[in-house]
Amino acid sequence: MPEQPRLAFIGIGLMGAPMTRKLLQAGYTVTIWNRSEHKCRPLTGAGAQAADSAAAAAGQADVVFLSLTDTAAVEQVVFGPGGIASVAGEGKILIDTSSIDPAASADFAARLQAANGMQWVDAPVSGGVVGAQNASLSFMLGGDPGVCGQIRPLLSVLGARITYMGPHGAGQTTKVFNQMIVGCNAVVIAEMMAAAKRAGLDAAKIPEALSGGFADSKPLQLMGPRMASDNFEPVQWTVATLLKDLGNAVALADRLGQNVPVTEFARSLMQQHGEQHAAADLSSLVKLFEK
């Protein structure tokens, strides 16, 4: 990989947009592509170059980032018509920051290398939109250890913690476990905040009161004020995203033969809310408990 690699970023959404902006600010040349073209416009104004397809973006890059919705979207962008697998890939690296099924991630890595020689790193992130904006994300890496070592300087532009977890799929497995904790935490925070309002407390003071104690967490500090004020805009993290991740968690647990009753219950409660509010911010989950 060159000392100053040319980059492509595919998937300009809630996470991809601020991550791309950080890479541009660090002086990298970045070519971008998104299925919804209008999302690219603010970044082309900031110096990014827009491509007509995922293949066109990848063809101009040494390192390709993905930040896509789910497993199906990653497969389509990489292996579908006009996808990344159709370009010359020898010596190039794909960094998938999406949160997808671990087994599929390992399969995609093998398929891509066979198709065009490109190396795959599963590199899901934790920290949300705020972490992307502040370059404080945590990366969980799966793949060849040498390749993962090569991309550390690049990832350090975007994150504060980079941990190698093992072979292909290990990063995604770690992210699944992360989301089990986050999902269960989000549900109980929503339940608690609804109860605090009913008890007549000034719910806006709850995050401050619990700060630094055993009940404190980043989700509490980020979602608590929004839940207290019923202000769920702008959307920073959709209900649908966490539902997808909890689905991956239940599927992984099933493959492992591991009971995860708390995660399954959290998922079922979130599913109730998501039936009508899938695109809403996760903090809107408090409304489920205020009925």
22: confidence class by pLDDT, cuts 50, 70, 90: very high
Confidence of residue 282 (pLDDT cuts 50, 70, 90): very high
Which CATH number fits the domain that encloses residue 248?
A: 1.10.1040.10
Tell me which of 175, 197, 218, 244 is the catalytic residue: 175
- Say if residue 107 is in the same domain as residue 188: no
153 and 118 both lie in a single domain: yes
pLDDT digits (tens, 9 = 90+) for 224-264: 999 999 999 999 889 999 999 999 999 999 999 999 999 99
Give me the amino acid identity at 90. Answer: E
Domain identity same for 127 and 186: no
**Measured CA distances, 86 to 29, 35, 161 (Å):** 22, 18, 33
Decide if 2 is inside a domain. no
Mean pLDDT of 92-116: 97
State which residues form the domain around 156. Answer: 7-167
Residue 243 within a domain: yes
Identify the band that residue 19 occupies on the pLDDT scale cut at 50, 70 and 90. very high
What percent of the chain clears pLDDT 90, i.e. is strictly above it? 96
Q: Do 83 and 184 fall within a single domain?
A: no
For residues 80 and 212, state if they share a domain.
Answer: no
When pLDDT is averaged across residues 80-106 and rounded to a whole number, the result is 96
How far, rounded to the nearest angstrom, does the alpha carbon of residue 255 sit from its chain's CA centroid? 23
Average pLDDT, the chain: 96
| pLDDT of the residue at 187 | 97
Q: Which of 135, 167, 199 is the last residue of a domain?
A: 167
Rounded Cα distance between 2 and 91, Å, is 10
Average pLDDT for residues 146-166, to the nearest whole number?
A: 97
Number of domains the chain is built from: 2
Do 163 and 189 fall within a single domain? no
Q: Which of 167, 197, 225 is the last residue of a domain?
A: 167
Same domain, 181 and 162: no
Taking only the tens place, the pLDDT of each residue in 122-141 is 999 999 999 999 999 999 99
Tell whether 84 and 157 lie within a shared domain.
Answer: yes
pLDDT digits (tens, 9 = 90+) for 28-53: 999 999 988 889 999 999 999 999 99
Q: Do 224 and 122 reside in the same domain of the chain?
A: no
pLDDT at residue 2 is higher than 80: no
Alpha carbon of 260 to those of 19, 124, 170, 181, 274: distances in Å? 33, 22, 19, 11, 21
The answer to whether 218 is a known catalytic residue is no
Q: What CATH number does residue 95 fall under?
A: 3.40.50.720
At residue 291, the pLDDT reads 82
In a domain, 33, yes or no: yes
Cβ neighbours for 36, distance < 8 A, ≥ 6 positions apart: none
